[in-house]
Amino acid sequence: MGGGRLSAEDRRAIEAGLAEELSYAAIARRLGRATSSVSREVARNGGPDAYRAEHADRADAWRRRNRPPSRRPAAPEPEPEVDHDPHPAAVQAYVDKFASLLIAVGLPRTAARVLACLVTAPTGAETSAELTRRLKVSPASVSKAVGYLEGLDVLSREHEPGRRRDRYVIDEEVWLRAWLTSAHKNAACAATAREGADLFGPDTPTGARLNAMHAFFAGIHRSMTGPPTSATVEDALTVLAALFHAARPLTTGELAAALGWPTARVISAVQAAGHDPGLRLTPEQRAALAGPARPSASGGESVFRRRFSRPASS
């Protein structure tokens, strides 16, 4: 990673990256700098919405002119350099261990190895060709594994400017999305079990088993998400209002862009909209709405079937 003071060109690149709604990590990769350097630069110059390269240049020049003089302390004895780069064999052993863990929790072998490679890559990103060489597998195997991981929403694509290829990236919100997806699955299991218990009757052996299943998964979901806050419910209502106003299916990325929210906030709001008791439809209401589409007041077809897919890549 590059060090030293940011140049005017660096600041213009940061402003451009913020305008493209890139993450700090993505901007830092463009500049070859640490993510913390970019985040500090933006924070001290108005934040992501107000950052302007020209203003940041002037502010930096003013700070340097008005910095009080200080006595330079005697140069300390240079410390011996420590090599923080682990041995390649140790790195490979760790990648194999990481991949084995992912396989044990259910990921296909190649997908687990791809994810382990991306997590341990210095930049958190690699191209298909790099993954193919590193894993010693065919490009088709890498493509299939990447498609699987994209379906789980644990990686995204970044197009390399000026080059006809993509890089696969692990971003900062990947684990939050994975956690929310897991919470969503637990809630779905609880709801399905409850529906079955109502169908068979709570006094029957089948209904009792399904009630126990409902209690188990509902408890896990509550422990993961906690009770919904008023802010979360307000966000859920905002998402529903946005869908109503758009009158068409929207992806998570489209919602985030339209609302000016981080992707993680949209995902949380979508989870609340689908699973908060105060916003949930009854089985009877769902059945009524699932009937044949009727013409709307404007003569078009009903568009209130939502589609939430993975976020659009940067």
pLDDT in tens, 89-134: 888 899 899 999 989 988 899 999 999 998 888 877 888 899 999 8
Does the pLDDT at position 218 exceed 90?
Answer: no
pLDDT digits (tens, 9 = 90+) for 54-82: 888 888 887 777 666 655 555 555 555 44
290 phi-psi bin (left φ>0, alpha ψ -120 to 50, beta other): alpha
pLDDT digits (tens, 9 = 90+) for 130-148: 999 989 999 999 999 998 9
pTM: 0.44
Indicate the residue type of 249: P
Q: In percent, how much of the chain has pLDDT > 70?
A: 71
Does the pLDDT at position 273 exceed 70?
Answer: no
pLDDT of 292 reads: 55
pLDDT of 2 reads: 52
pLDDT of 43 reads: 79
Confidence category of residue 191, pLDDT binned at 50, 70, 90: confident
Sign of the dihedral defined by the CA atoms of residues 208, 286, 188, 276, in that order: negative
In terms of C-beta distances under 8 Å and separation of at least 24 residues, what long-range contacts does 129-137 make, across chains too? 129/165, 131/168, 135/110, 137/110
What is the dotted CATH code of the domain comprising 88-171? 1.10.10.10
What gap in Å lies between CA 262 and CA 220, rounded to an integer?
26
Question: Taking all residues of the chain, what is their mean pLDDT, rounded to a whole number?
Answer: 76
Q: Who's near 86: CB < 8 A, 6+ residues apart? A: 94
pLDDT of 113 reads: 94
pLDDT digits (tens, 9 = 90+) for 287-300: 676 655 444 433 33
pLDDT of 96 reads: 92
